[in-house]
Amino acid sequence: MLTTKISGLELKNPLMLAAGIMGTTGGSLKRMARCGAGAVITKSIGIEPKPGHPNPTMVKLRCGYLNAMGLPNPSYKLFQPEIDEAKHAGVPVIASIFGVDASEFSVIAGAINADAFELNVSCPHAEGYGAEIGTDPALVEGITKAVKNATDAPVWVKLTPNVADITETGLAAQKGGADAVVAINTLRGMAIDIESGHPILGNRFGGLSGHGIKPVAVKCVHDLYSALDIPVIGCGGISGWEDVVEFIMAGARAVQIGSAVGDNINIFSDISSCLEAFLSLKLWTLDDIYGMVHEI
Amino acid sequence: MLTTKISGLELKNPLMLAAGIMGTTGGSLKRMARCGAGAVITKSIGIEPKPGHPNPTMVKLRCGYLNAMGLPNPSYKLFQPEIDEAKHAGVPVIASIFGVDASEFSVIAGAINADAFELNVSCPHAEGYGAEIGTDPALVEGITKAVKNATDAPVWVKLTPNVADITETGLAAQKGGADAVVAINTLRGMAIDIESGHPILGNRFGGLSGHGIKPVAVKCVHDLYSALDIPVIGCGGISGWEDVVEFIMAGARAVQIGSAVGDNINIFSDISSCLEAFLSLKLWTLDDIYGMVHEI
Amino acid sequence: MRPVDAVITKFVDETPSTRTIFFDTFFEQVPGQFVMVWVRGVDEIPMALSYENAITVHKAGEATSALFELDECDSIGIRGPFGNGFGISGKNILLISGGVGAAPLAPLAERAASSGISVTTMLGAIKKDELLFGKRFETAGKVLIATDDGSEGRKGYVTDLLDDNDVDADRFDSIYCCGPEPMMKKVLDSSIIPEKVQFSLHRYFKCGIGVCGACCIDGLRVCKDGPVFRGDVLKDTEFGKFKRDGCGCKVKV
Amino acid sequence: MRPVDAVITKFVDETPSTRTIFFDTFFEQVPGQFVMVWVRGVDEIPMALSYENAITVHKAGEATSALFELDECDSIGIRGPFGNGFGISGKNILLISGGVGAAPLAPLAERAASSGISVTTMLGAIKKDELLFGKRFETAGKVLIATDDGSEGRKGYVTDLLDDNDVDADRFDSIYCCGPEPMMKKVLDSSIIPEKVQFSLHRYFKCGIGVCGACCIDGLRVCKDGPVFRGDVLKDTEFGKFKRDGCGCKVKV
Ligand SMILES: Cc1cc2nc3c(=O)[nH]c(=O)nc-3n(C[C@H](O)[C@H](O)[C@H](O)COP(=O)(O)OP(=O)(O)OC[C@H]3O[C@@H](n4cnc5c(N)ncnc54)[C@H](O)[C@@H]3O)c2cc1C
Ligand SMILES: Cc1cc2nc3c(=O)[nH]c(=O)nc-3n(C[C@H](O)[C@H](O)[C@H](O)COP(=O)(O)OP(=O)(O)OC[C@H]3O[C@@H](n4cnc5c(N)ncnc54)[C@H](O)[C@@H]3O)c2cc1C
Ligand SMILES: Cc1cc2nc3c(=O)[nH]c(=O)nc-3n(C[C@H](O)[C@H](O)[C@H](O)COP(=O)(O)O)c2cc1C
Ligand SMILES: Cc1cc2nc3c(=O)[nH]c(=O)nc-3n(C[C@H](O)[C@H](O)[C@H](O)COP(=O)(O)O)c2cc1C
Ligand code: FES
Ligand code: FES
C-alpha cells in the first residue's frame, strides 16, 4: 500500500534515510534499512578522506538541531565496500556525493556503483563545497549535466533553502537532466554560548535541521512541485507520520528523515504503520494525497 | 545599566517591540511601552487602508508561529493620531512603513512624524511589497536613498532572511544611507491541514517566526555585524533573556521581540531584570558583550 | 496548535437565525472562552462553545452563512479554547443575555446551577422566536424575558428589565453579561457597581492568540486578556464607543 | 541541550597521567553514562563522570592536554549525561578495570556496595603508580591487582587474573568491564558467558547524540545504544577488530 516508484527505483515505502545520518558505514546503513527505511542515502562522499570540523559538531536546541560536521568521509576510493555491504539489506542504496566542481563530481559518480546518486550542492558549512555551488543555477546545471554523462544511474540534486527562490536552482537541476530534486538541506544557523561568548559549534556556524524547519521545507516542496516536471523528494523536520502526510500533500513523491532518527531509531517502521492506518481510515492512497494541496 | 543609543535614539533598554505585534493602535503601543519596551515599532503602514488576508492569519506550530496577516493597516493618512497617542508613554515610537516602490515609501515617510522609520522590504507574503523588493539590492538601495531624502528622522531597513547572502542587501541599505538594519523578518513557510489537504493559512503560505528561527537570525546578525559599519538590530525568536544575550554577542546593538509577546505580555520587564542580573553577576556591561563572538 | 478536525454530527435550529452545530469532539472549557472555527476555504471566526461539543451560530455574513450550508459528516477545524472565561463566584448570580450572547451564558448557567448557585437570567431578543436557550436558562433558575417588539415578556431592551422592580441588581453577588455592545454598554453605564459585572466582549479577531493586536481595546487584547473583562476595567475605554475594522480603522460601535 | 557551564573547583592528581577535575555542577547519572566535555576553542570529547561532579582525565592528546592546563575557576562546557549506563543486577558482582577504565567503574562500585551488593574488582594498570581509584574500590569490596611491569599485584594484564585460581568468574552474577579495547576483547573471548558481561565502549564520537553514525560498530551507535553493551551483542562484530577514524576510515584496533 505504501510502495512508490521514483526515478525508476521501486521503494517499499516512501521513507528514506537522509544523507549524513547513520550513513558512514555499511553496517549502519544496513541497520536503518532493517529498521524499515524504504531506501538509504549514504553520507556525502568526496574525492579525498576528510576528518571534518572539530567538535562540537552537533547540538540539540530547543527547536531542532544545529550541526557542522564538515563532510567527514573516507573518500570514494574507500567507500564502495560500505555500499556493497549496505545493499545486503535489500533496499536501494543511494550515494550522496560532493565536490568542488563538475569534474570532481563526475570522477566520483563514474567510479562508484550505487542505485542512484544524490548530488550534495547544498551543505551550508563546508567552504568551497556545498551551498556556495548550490546557490548558483549555472553551476547546478553544469554539475548535473556532467554527472548525468558520467553514470547511467538516476541522479537527484539536493537543494539548499538558503536562496531567494528555490525554484531557480530546481529548474537548473531539471535542465541539467536531473531525475529528481531533494528539498531541503539545512538552513544556515548559529548558536552562541552566553557564558563565554564562544560559538558553540567548532566551525562557528552550521546548519539547522529538525522540527523547526519543517514549514520552510514544506513551502520549498510546494513551490518546486508547481515549477518542475521531475519529482520532488521532501526532507526537513520530519518526526512523525503527520509530517510525512504534509510533505506528500505539498507535492513530495517521497521523503527523507534525518535528525529524528537520533531519538527514535524505529522511526521508519513507526511512521509506516501509522501512515498505512491513516490512509486506510481516510480511504486514500498515496497517489490521492500526492500534491493534494495544489488541487485546492 | 541597560541604556543604549542607536542611530541617535536613547533607549532605556535595548528591547523593542517588533513591527506587526500590538502595533495597530496607539493604545496597544502605549501598553507595550508601559510593559517595559525600550522602544516600540508600529504595524507596517502603507498608502491605502488594507484589510489583509482572510483568516486563518496565524497559527502556533510546535516550534514557532506561521502568519500571513497581509499587512492590514489603516493607511498613513489615518495613522498619525495613533503614533501621537503612543508617544505619551515616553519611549521612542518608530514607524514601520511599506510600499510598492521608492515613491510610495517617500510619500509616507514625508507625511508621518515619528522618532525613526523602519522600512519593511521583507514581508514574505504580501505580493508586490515586501520580500520581492527586499531580495534585490538595487531596489533596497534606491528605496533607502529616497526615504533618507524625504525625512530627517533616522531610517532603519528591515531585511529578509530569504536570500542567499543577507550581507548583500545589508550593504545595499548602508549604501543607500540607512542608519541601521534590522534582521530578520520571517522565513517563508507553509503548513497543511492533513485532514483536508487545505493550506492552513488563508493566504496558503506565510512567514515563520518564534523560537525555531533564532539560530538563523543569530547567524544573519553575525554576518551583518562583520560586513557593515552601521549598527544591526536583532530580531527573530527571542523569548528569554538568554536569547537577547546571544543576539548582542552576535553583534546586535539592540533587539526586537515579536511573537513571544503573545504568551508573555510582560516579557520586556521580565527580560530587563534578568539581563541586568546576568550582567551584574558576570561583571559585564552591554558594551562588553556587544559583538563578543567576533573577538573569539 | 493546529486546527482539530471536528466532524459535524447534528444540527439544531434554535431560532430562525441561529443554529447549533454539534460535532464529534469535546473541548473542556471555562464558559466564556472561545474557539476559532475554520470553515476551510472561507474564513476562520471566533465562536463561543455553547456546549462542550457545539457552537451556536447566528447568521451574520460570509463565514457564518457558510456554516449554515454544511451537512452532517462535513468537518470544520477548531482551535482552542482560548482566552479567559467567566470567573464563577457568589451564591446568587444574574446573567444578562442579548441575542446570541446566550451562547457562552447557557453553559455558565448550567455549570453554576449544578454547583448549587442560584441563577437568575434576564434574556433578551428582537422577538419571541429569536429567544435563545430559554429552556436551558429555565432549567438553571429563574428567567425574565424582554423582546424588542414585546412578543414575549417586557417590550423593550433586556436592560430595561433592570429598571423594573422585578430585579434588584444589587442583591446579586456577581453579574454576567453578553450581547450586542450597545446593550452591554448600557449595563456598564447603569447604577450597578462595575466590579460586579463580567462582560464577554466581541471584537474583530485576526490571530486570536494575543500576538497581532487587531482586537485591542485601549491596549487590552480581547482574545487573550479577555474575552471576559470586569466592568471596572472597561470604564473610560473605547468599549461601547469605537471598534476597529479589518484594516485597523476606528469605527463607531 | 546546550553545554552547561561547569566551573572548576578542585584538581586531584590521581596518577602521573590522570587528573580528576571537580566542578561546581552535579549531574545525576547512571554509572557508565558519559558527558561531552567542551574545552572551548579546542574540542569537545566524551568522558565518563567519575563522580557526580567530576571527570577523571587521562592525558591522550590535544583536548585532554588542554584539560590539564586549566586552572581553578576556569570553566568547561558539559552536555549530558548521555547514553545507557550499567544495569546493576545480582548480589555478587565483578568489575574488570584497565587504566582509566576505572573512571566509570568506581562510581558503579560505590553505588553497588551501598545497596549491599558484594563487589570484587580486578584492577589493572601499566605500573603501580598508574593504578586508578584503588582506595575507592577497596572501600567498596575486594580488590585484585595486576600491573604490566609487576610493580604491584600480579605481573601481566588484568585479564590474566581470570586465569588465576583467585577469581572464579562463574560465581559472579554480573561482570562489568571497562578499559582498552584489546583488554575488553580478551574478556569477551574468554570462557565467561558473554550475556553476563557489560562492556563500556570507547569510539570516536562526533555528535554524541545518536544522529551522525560516526561511532557505529556494525550499526550499533556506541553513543546512544551504548556506551554500555552486553557481551553477546558484541560477539561477531567489529568490536576488538576495527574502529573508525575521524574520516570514517576503517582502522585496526
Ligand atoms: C469571543 C467571540 C465569541 C463569539 N461567539 C459567537 C457565537 O457564539 N455565536 C455567533 O453567532 N457569533 C459569535 N461571535 C461573533 C462571530 O465571530 C461573528 O459573527 C462572525 O465572525 C461573523 O463572520 P461572517 O463572515 O459571517 O460575517 P462578516 O460578513 O465577515 O462580518 C459581519 C460582522 O462580523 C464581525 N466579524 C467578521 N469577522 C470577524 C472575526 N474574524 N472576528 C470577529 N468578528 C468578526 C465583523 O464585526 C462584521 O461586522 C463571537 C465573536 C467573538 C469575538
Ligand atoms: C564513552 C566514552 C567515555 C570516555 N571516558 C573517558 C574518561 O573517563 N577519561 C578519559 O581520560 N578518557 C575517556 N574517554 C576517552 C577520551 O574521550 C579520549 O581520550 C579523548 O577524546 C582524547 O582526546 P584528545 O584530543 O586528548 O586526543 P587526540 O589527540 O584527539 O586523540 C587521541 C585518541 O583519542 C581518541 N579521540 C579523540 N577525539 C575523540 C572523540 N571526539 N571521541 C572519542 N574518542 C576520541 C581517538 O581515538 C584518538 O586516537 C572516553 C571515551 C568514550 C567514548
Ligand atoms: C548530522 C547531520 C549530518 C548531515 N550530513 C549531510 C551530508 O553529508 N550530506 C547532505 O546532503 N546532507 C546532510 N545533512 C542534511 C540532512 O540530510 C537533511 O537534509 C537535513 O538534516 C534536514 O532533515 P532533518 O530535519 O530530517 O534532519 C546532515 C544533517 C545532519 C543533522
Ligand atoms: C503576527 C505578525 C505580524 C507581523 N507583521 C509585521 C509587519 O507588519 N511588518 C514587519 O516588518 N514585520 C512584521 N512581522 C515580523 C516581526 O516583526 C518579526 O520580524 C518576526 O516575527 C520575527 O520575530 P519574532 O520571532 O520575535 O516574532 C510580523 C510578525 C508576526 C508574527
Ligand atoms: S486577534 Fe490578534 S491579538 Fe487578539
Ligand atoms: S557520535 Fe554521532 S551517532 Fe554516535
Which domains are delineated in chain B?
4-52+66-187+208-295 (3.20.20.70)
Give the cell for residue A14: 516512501
The band of C167, judged by pLDDT with boundaries at 50, 70 and 90, is confident
The reply to whether D75 touches chain A by the CB within 8 Å rule is yes
Q: Rounded CA gap, A129 and D150, in Å?
A: 54
Bridge partner residues of C143 (DSSP): C121
DSSP SS3 for B235: strand
Q: With contact defined as beta carbons under 8 Å apart, do B249 and B291 qualify? A: yes
Query: Cβ–Cβ of A196/D5 closer than 8 Å?
Result: yes
Which domains are delineated in chain D?
4-82 (2.40.30.10), 86-200 (3.40.50.80), 203-253 (no CATH)
Cell 429569536 locates to C130
What per-residue confidence (pLDDT) applies to C165? 67
pLDDT averaged over chain D? 94
**pLDDT tens track for D21-72:** 999 999 999 999 999 999 999 999 999 999 999 999 999 999 999 999 999 9
Nearest-atom number in ligand 4 for the CA of B73 is 8
Q: How distant, in Å, are the alpha carbons of A119, A156, A158, A159 from that of A137?
A: 14, 15, 13, 11
Complex ipTM: 0.95
The predicted model gives B83-99 an average pLDDT of 97
The reply to whether C216 touches chain B by the CB within 8 Å rule is yes
* Cα–chain center distance at C165: 26
The band of D97, judged by pLDDT with boundaries at 50, 70 and 90, is very high
Q: With contact defined as beta carbons under 8 Å apart, do B119 and B155 qualify? A: yes
The predicted model gives C135-149 an average pLDDT of 93
| Helix A241-250, helix A267-282: angle, nearest 10 | 60
**pLDDT tens track for C178-218:** 999 999 999 999 889 999 999 999 999 999 999 999 999 99
Q: With contact defined as beta carbons under 8 Å apart, do A75 and A49 qualify? A: yes
The predicted model gives A286-290 an average pLDDT of 97
Query: Cβ–Cβ of B28/C213 closer than 8 Å?
Result: yes
Is pLDDT above 70 for D167? yes
**CA dihedral sign of residues C227, C231, C232, C235:** positive
Tell me which DSSP letter residue B130 carries: T
**Does ligand 3 come within 6 angstroms of the Cβ of A120?**
yes
Ligand 5 center to residue B84 CA distance, Å?
22
List % helix, strand, coil for chain A (3-state, nearest 5): 40, 20, 40
Nearest-atom number in ligand 3 for the CA of D206 is 1
pLDDT averaged over chain A? 96
Query: Cβ–Cβ of C248/B196 closer than 8 Å?
Result: no
**pLDDT tens track for A134-156:** 899 999 999 999 999 999 999 99
pLDDT averaged over chain B? 96
**CB contacts, 8 Å: B205 with chain A:** 219, 222
Is pLDDT above 90 for B233? yes
The reply to whether C243 touches chain B by the CB within 8 Å rule is no
**pLDDT tens track for D205-218:** 999 999 999 999 99
**pLDDT tens track for C66-87:** 999 999 999 999 999 999 999 9
What per-residue confidence (pLDDT) applies to A127? 67
Å from A120 to nearest chain B CA?
17
What per-residue confidence (pLDDT) applies to B130? 61
**CB contacts, 8 Å: A188 with chain B:** 216, 219
What per-residue confidence (pLDDT) applies to C163? 79
Q: With contact defined as beta carbons under 8 Å apart, do C36 and C48 qualify? A: no
Query: Cβ–Cβ of C206/B52 closer than 8 Å?
Result: yes
The predicted model gives D223-229 an average pLDDT of 96
Give the cell for residue C116: 448549587
* Cα–chain center distance at B258: 8
State what percent of residues in chain A have pLDDT above 70. 97
Q: Which residue of C has its CA nearest to B76?
A: C249
Q: With contact defined as beta carbons under 8 Å apart, do A51 and A110 qualify? A: no
Q: Which residue of A has its CA nearest to D225?
A: A265
Q: How distant, in Å, are the alpha carbons of A162, D40, D67, D68, D73 from that of D11?
A: 46, 19, 11, 9, 11
Query: Cβ–Cβ of B194/A246 closer than 8 Å?
Result: yes
pLDDT averaged over chain C? 94
Q: Do chains C and B touch (3 or more CB pairs under 8 A)?
A: yes
What per-residue confidence (pLDDT) applies to A79? 96
**pLDDT tens track for C209-245:** 999 999 999 999 999 999 999 999 999 999 999 999 9
**pLDDT tens track for B255-281:** 999 999 999 999 999 999 999 999 999
- What are the backbone dihedrals phi and psi of residue B248, each rounded to the nearest 5 degrees, phi first? -65, -40
Record the pTM. 0.96
- The DSSP secondary structure of chain C, one letter per residue, reads -PPEEEEEEEEEEEETTEEEEEES------BTBEEEEEETTTEEEEEE-SBTTEEEEE--SHHHHHHHT--TT-EEEEEEEESB-PPP-SSEEEEEEEGGGHHHHHHHHHHHHHTT-EEEEEEEESSGGG--SHHHHHHHEEEEEEETT-SSSEES-GGGGGGSSS--GGG-SEEEEES-HHHHHHHHHSSS-GGGEEEE-----SSSSSSS-TTEETTEETTTT-BEEEHHHHTTSSTTTEEE-TT--EEE-
> Between A11 and A132, where is the model more confident?
A11
What per-residue confidence (pLDDT) applies to D165? 67
Is pLDDT above 70 for B127? no
Q: Rounded CA gap, C68 and D175, in Å?
A: 72
Which residues lie below 8 Å from residue B247, measured CB to CB, with a gap of 6+?
B217, B218, B221, B234, B238, B255
Q: Rounded CA gap, B156 and D46, in Å?
A: 46
List % helix, strand, coil for chain D (3-state, nearest 5): 25, 35, 40
Question: CB contacts < 8 Å between B and C, how many?
Answer: 134
- What are the backbone dihedrals phi and psi of residue B170, each rounded to the nearest 5 degrees, phi first? -60, -45
Is pLDDT above 80 for A126? no
Active site residues of B: 123
Tell me which DSSP letter residue B179 carries: S
Residues with CB under 6 A from ligand 1: B 55; C 34, 43, 45-48, 55-58, 60-64, 100, 103, 202-205, 227
What per-residue confidence (pLDDT) applies to C11? 96
- What are the backbone dihedrals phi and psi of residue A7, each rounded to the nearest 5 degrees, phi first? 45, 45
Q: Which residue of A has its CA nearest to D220?
A: A28
